[in-house]
Structure 1
């Protein structure tokens, strides 16, 4: 994940073994080049996305200063996931993806949420990054006419139980989607869809809920500092925990502790 403001001009790059999405945050520029699907010229719209093919030395010229977000998918880490999800019918090097800018609301929403959550929680967790990648690549597959097998149900009871036990046991760790999927004996892509079917929310959202619940318990029953509690539930600092608390409970951890220990005492939210 990279975000940058760049001057206009030649922004070509050598061939790299990764698929890269470029989202224009401002719009209003003109782009010419070849990203792996043939020569194109297009006006760039705010929120629009360009996709650069892996292993292709692209040529891109942008006529003015631009603000972009870039997200890369290393081929060696993702092609196996996509092959399993699509029965081998989708390639990260599909030329249809690389012939100009497109606007796809699901991808735009996934990128927006990924950056927002990264701002809230610091560097994106492996669980967040992998789940967002599965969602984005699934939509790219659909754009090329590919399909995935529909979800026929949720997790088996034993798989759901084991995954939740793993989440509770490793609450302070950067648990990955791949580790949870392995516990359920599923591919990461299918696991993410089946988990949401069973629990009603994606794995990352469920893990955040568990962390907030545990933090509340520690604030109520211990004298650990907010920083110690943040580390105990998997966040890098008290500032990160405060942002998560504010979003979930509309108050900061210190005010929560005061409220539950002395409900008659008034407090002002920070």
Structure 2
């Protein structure tokens, strides 16, 4: 079989005969590519790409055989099972049935330093035993499901969400592959916590990244994400959403700005995205909230 060169997993699926199988793709700045692919039975081998690729089987398959970088396998898969393909390895995969996969591709150039830092320099792609195994992980499946749900609600994931989700998933993959990440080092120092929250509030309208926040705290992105959660009780992305909703409430209460303008002021791409987020957190639309807080009778009922 002749392969055409592809620099990434997403690029491979966007060209040639494989392009017709692609159902969805989202990529926030090349940090983490999310793809959903519906493929027929047959040979689905591909060339080497410089990504670590995590795949979740959404249907199950009576027989899958090939090599994802960890040696030959011949297995039956179930709905929700996971597998990982090694970077820089030309995979061979033959499926006996049509199937649907959700895949997360981690560009190696963007994640190598995170893996080195998290594993104290002990991580090796050559020695990891995770490749080609069909395995189950409720933690990874939950993280992938949450990522997809947020994509459906808010569009392409933010750089903060993509980096934080990637750190969480890679930590679990490395643990399953026999190379646990270094233990967490406690919470953020008070000065670091204060400066990070100030930066979040100052840049609500920006696509702020985990790397930006980590730099403010003088930490690696991986360690910062875990230490932030220890200090604040939730991941950085969740806290940023809380700050945005808080700011939206304030602007709805005290300004006459249109909802579309408010959405842009706090970093959402449209009033529809803001409405979905706000409804999830406040159980009413931004317009209904504005009416309620400005009507004394309805405001009392809300309290």
TM-score by length of 1: 0.95
Structure-2 residue corresponding to 1:140:
173
**Deviation above 4 Å: which 4+ runs of structure 1?**
none
Q: How far does residue 28 in structure 1 lie from its aligned partner after superposition?
A: 3.5
Q: How far does residue 174 in structure 1 lie from its aligned partner after superposition?
A: 0.3
1:177-216 to 2 correspondences below 5 Å: 177-216=210-249
| Deviation per residue, 1:206-226 (Å, 9 max, x gap) | 000000000111111111111
TM-score by length of 2: 0.85
Q: How far does residue 104 in structure 1 lie from its aligned partner after superposition?
A: 0.9
Q: Give the 3-state SS of the residue equivalent to 2:297 in structure 1.
A: coil
Which residue of 162, 165, 180 corresponds with 2:195?
162
Q: How far does residue 134 in structure 1 lie from its aligned partner after superposition?
A: 0.3
Aligned residue pairs, count: 266
20 and 169 in structure 1: CA distance in 2 versus 1, 3 angstrom threshold: same
Are the equivalent residues in 2 in contact too, given 1:163–1:180 (CA < 8 A)?
yes
Which residue of 87, 94, 97 corresponds with 1:54?
87
- Uncovered stretches (5+) of structure 2, i.e. residues with no partner: 1-33
Are the equivalent residues in 1 in contact too, given 2:61–2:95 (CA < 8 A)?
no
55 and 68 in structure 1: CA distance in 2 versus 1, 3 angstrom threshold: same
Matched, 1:125 2:162: no
Structure-1 residue corresponding to 2:66:
33
Q: Give the 3-state SS of the residue equivalent to 2:267 in structure 1.
A: coil
Q: How far does residue 183 in structure 1 lie from its aligned partner after superposition?
A: 0.4
Which residue of 83, 96, 101 corresponds with 1:63?
96
Alpha-carbon distance between aligned partners in 2 of 1:210 and 1:120, rounded to the nearest angstrom:
18
| Deviation per residue, 1:145-197 (Å, 9 max, x gap) | 22233223211111111101100110000000001000000000000000001
Are the equivalent residues in 2 in contact too, given 1:54–1:93 (CA < 8 A)?
no
Q: Give the 3-state SS of the residue equivalent to 1:124 in structure 2.
A: coil
**CA RMSD of superposed structures (Å):** 1.3
